[in-house]
């Protein structure tokens, strides 16, 4: 029986709370590969830690509850989670992906799954009629992110899920940027939710992990089989660290978002900034749809400096905000999509879709907002040509 109603409480008490054996308020780290069996042919709950581990199981129960799923699966990285989900498909199947899907998702489809004749099609999922006209008999799934990197493009998750359902195909949502605290795609009709828990769920830039959530028994059975068969499971210590991070998700996200909202408004009012991409701003093209499906705009912002500013100088002038891959940690991180996350895309195509050389992506941390704005301000000044 659950003795709480709100997400903030579920983050702490959800799944399996503590250790019934000792009363410890934290689930222990079951650092074991195998388990003693009482005899031959008996039905055992735990047999081998690739198949199941109590620490990992506690995390899986917790995240399933948070996303409103019936089953959760923890993997050694977001990419291991995505690989397991893509392993649901067969040669000849096609998966439609948003045009700005995570680079690693595109890479594994293009360089790995294509070798097995699992194909992909790229569509602008913000355009529902374009998406619908891309659905052909070989299309078996639609994979989307909202907001999507790096222009924080918003896709209508309920509409995409309904469309997929109508054609009898799966809808898959990578919910890394929002977390279940801000957005719950299964409740909007999605069939599968994926996370890179490396980001906000872990929250401290100290682990790499991936999660998959479903709310159908058939999919749960297939994913349990694939998790065990392909073996990219999360280690017990990392499962523990991830549960530790999830406990503070609501307070961290509240501060992340409060800072992001202020930073986006400040950037908007800064003459050196040409464009600001943040679905929490009322004049952002994704604002209305995002508001319908998510608690707020999240904490990822991209912006474009005008031509009078040198992006290289901007990055080297930052003193507090760190230039690094990844996002979602307590510390603010900044990255240069053109040479980092989206370097694989040819320049003409990049620039055409808005990923210009002067585009900067910010993962706003939970530091003091005045310190963050002061750092941005001095770096913008320094970068003036």
Ligand X SMILES: *Cc1c(COP(=O)(O)O)cnc(C)c1O
Residues that bind ligand X (CB under 6 A): 77-79, 102, 104, 145, 174, 176, 196, 198-199, 208, 210
Nearest distance, CB of residue 30 and ligand X, angstroms: 23
Residue pair 104/82 in contact (Cβ under 8 Å)? The answer is yes
Parallel, antiparallel, or unpaired: how do β-strands 359-363 and 300-305 relate?
A: antiparallel
Answer yes or no: 238 catalytic.
no
Phi, psi of 285 (to 5 degrees): -60, -25
* Segments in the chain forming alpha helices (H): 7-13, 54-67, 78-86, 103-107, 128-133, 157-166, 179-182, 217-230, 236-247, 249-268, 287-293, 311-317, 347-353, 369-382
Asked if 289 and 325 touch (Cβ cutoff 8 Å), the reply is no
The CB-of-209 to ligand X minimum distance in angstroms stands at 6
Integer Cα distance of 160 and 191 in angstroms:
11
Is 357 annotated as catalytic?
no
- Which of 198/293 has CB closer to ligand X? 198
Rounded to a whole number of angstroms, the minimum distance from the CB of residue 79 to ligand X is: 4
Q: What's the closest the beta carbon of residue 241 comes to ligand X, in angstroms? A: 13
Q: Which is nearer to ligand X, 102 or 278 (CB)?
A: 102
Q: Which residues contact 224 (CB under 8 A, 6 or more apart)?
A: 71, 73
By C-beta, is 175 or 383 nearer to ligand X?
Answer: 175
Phi, psi for residue 325 in degrees, rounded to 5: -70, 170
- Nearest residue (CB) to ligand X, 154 versus 379: 154
Q: Which of 199, 252, 255, 361 is catalytic?
A: 199
Q: What is the number of the residue whose Cβ is closest to ligand X?
A: 78
Assess contact for 287 and 281: CB atoms under 8 A: yes
Shortest separation between residue 198's beta carbon and ligand X, angstroms: 4
Write down the catalytic residue from 19, 50, 291, 306: 50
Task: Check 30, 93, 94, 102 and give the catalytic one.
Answer: 102
As measured in angstroms, the least distance from the Cβ of 353 to ligand X is 17
Count of CB atoms within 10 A of residue 79's CB?
19
Contact by Cβ (8 Å): 220, 251: no
User: Annotated catalytic residue: which of 30, 140, 156, 174?
Assistant: 174
Q: Which DSSP symbol is given to 329?
A: S
| Nearest-approach distance from CB 208 to ligand X, in angstroms | 5
d(Cα 256, Cα 144) in Å, to the nearest integer? 23
Q: Judged by CB, which is closer to ligand X: 29, or 76?
A: 76
- For ligand X, which is the closer residue by CB, 80 or 273? 80
Strand partners, 233: 75
How would DSSP label each residue in 246-315? HHTHHHHHHHHHHHHHHHHHHHHT-TTEEEEE-TTSTTSTTHHHHHHHSSS--SEEEEEE-TTB-HHHHH
Instruction: Output the six-digit token pair for 172.
Output: 């898959």
Whether 174 is a known active-site residue: answer yes
Least distance from ligand X to the Cβ atom of residue 372, Å: 21
Pick the closer one to ligand X by CB: 60 or 375.
60
For residue 125, what is the enclosing H or E element? none
| 135/359 with CB nearer ligand X | 359
Give 80's DSSP letter.
H
The residues assigned a catalytic role are 50, 102, 174, 199
């Amino acid at each position: 029986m659950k003795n709480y109603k709100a997400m903030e409480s579920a983050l702490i008490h959800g799944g399996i709370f503590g250790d019934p054996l000792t009363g410890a308020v934290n689930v222990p780290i079951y650092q074991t590969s195998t388990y003693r069996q009482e005899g031959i042919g008996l039905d055992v709950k735990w047999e081998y830690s690739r198949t199941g581990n109590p620490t990992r199981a506690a995390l899986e129960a917790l995240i399933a509850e948070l996303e409103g799923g019936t089953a959760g699966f923890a993997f050694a990285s977001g990419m291991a989670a995505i690989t397991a989900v893509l392993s649901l498909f067969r040669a000849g199947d096609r998966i439609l992906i948003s045009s700005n899907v995570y680079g690693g998702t595109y890479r594994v489809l293009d360089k790995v799954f294509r070798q097995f004749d699992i194909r992909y099609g790229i569509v602008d999922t913000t355009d529902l009629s374009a998406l619908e006209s891309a659905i052909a008999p070989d299309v078996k799934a639609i994979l989307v992110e909202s907001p999507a990197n790096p222009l924080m493009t918003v896709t209508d998750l309920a509409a995409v899920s309904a469309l997929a359902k109508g054609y009898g195909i799966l809808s898959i949502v990578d919910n890394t940027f929002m977390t279940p605290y801000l957005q719950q795609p299964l409740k909007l009709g999605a069939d599968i939710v994926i996370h890179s828990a490396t980001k906000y769920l872990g929250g401290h830039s100290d682990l790499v992990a991936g999660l998959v959530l479903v709310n159908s028994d058939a999919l749960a059975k297939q994913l349990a089989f694939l998790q065990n068969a392909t073996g990219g499971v999360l280690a017990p210590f990392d499962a523990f660290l991830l549960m530790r991070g999830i406990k503070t998700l609501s307070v961290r996200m509240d501060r992340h978002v409060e800072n992001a909202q202020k930073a986006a408004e400040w950037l908007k009012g800064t003459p050196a900034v040409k464009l600001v991409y943040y679905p929490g701003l009322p004049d952002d093209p994704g604002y209305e749809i995002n508001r319908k499906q998510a608690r707020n705009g999240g904490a990822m912002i991209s912006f474009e400096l005008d031509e009078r500013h040198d992006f290289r100088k901007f990055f080297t002038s930052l003193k507090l905000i760190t230039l690094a891959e990844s996002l979602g940690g307590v510390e603010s991180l900044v990255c240069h999509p053109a040479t980092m996350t989206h370097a694989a895309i040819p320049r003409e195509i990049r620039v055409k879709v808005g990923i210009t050389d002067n585009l900067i992506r910010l993962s706003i941390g939970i530091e003091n907002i005045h310190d963050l704005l002061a750092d941005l301000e001095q770096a913008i000044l320094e970068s003036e040509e």
